[in-house]
């Protein structure tokens, strides 16, 4: 069974971003800056791995300014 088959109703990148409090521009910027391994704009439905990645990274920076994230994450 592939990862894409594990979700009965896969969520969109926008839905997951909103769920973790991450605005859409920030989600795109995370990919541009190398924090996400996939482009949320060109990934309409997330498989389990991408969903987990966006939940994890998005929850780390949700509500925070993107330039602050490298500083915050490097002190962990």
Q: What is the pTM of this model?
A: 0.71
Closest CA to 54 of 27, 73, 72: 27
Closest CA to 9 of 37, 46, 36, 35: 46
Average pLDDT rounded to a whole number, residues 51-61:
91
The pLDDT of residue 9 is 73
Phi and psi at 12, nearest 5°, equal -85, 160
Report yes or no on 5 lying in a domain: no
Report yes or no on 6 lying in a domain: no
The pLDDT of residue 1 is 47
Domain enclosing residue 34, as ranges: 11-74
On the question of pLDDT at 61 being above 70, the answer is yes
Query: For the chain, how many structural domains are there in total?
Result: 1
Report yes or no on 37 lying in a domain: yes
pLDDT tens digits for range 21-55: 899 999 999 999 999 999 999 998 999 999 999 99
Report yes or no on 49 lying in a domain: yes
**Helix ranges (DSSP H) in the chain:** 13-19, 24-32, 48-61, 68-74
Token duo for residue 50: 């991408």
Write the DSSP symbol of residue 20: T
Report yes or no on 16 lying in a domain: yes
Report yes or no on 33 lying in a domain: yes
Report yes or no on 41 lying in a domain: yes
């Amino acid at each position: 069974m592939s990862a894409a088959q594990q979700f009965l109703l896969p969520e969109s990148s926008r839905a997951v971003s909103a769920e973790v409090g991450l605005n859409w521009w920030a989600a795109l910027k995370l990919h541009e800056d190398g924090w996400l391994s996939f482009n949320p704009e060109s990934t309409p439905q997330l498989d389990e791995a991408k969903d987990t990645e966006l939940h994890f990274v998005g929850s780390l920076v949700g509500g925070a300014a993107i330039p602050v994230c490298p500083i915050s994450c490097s002190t962990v």
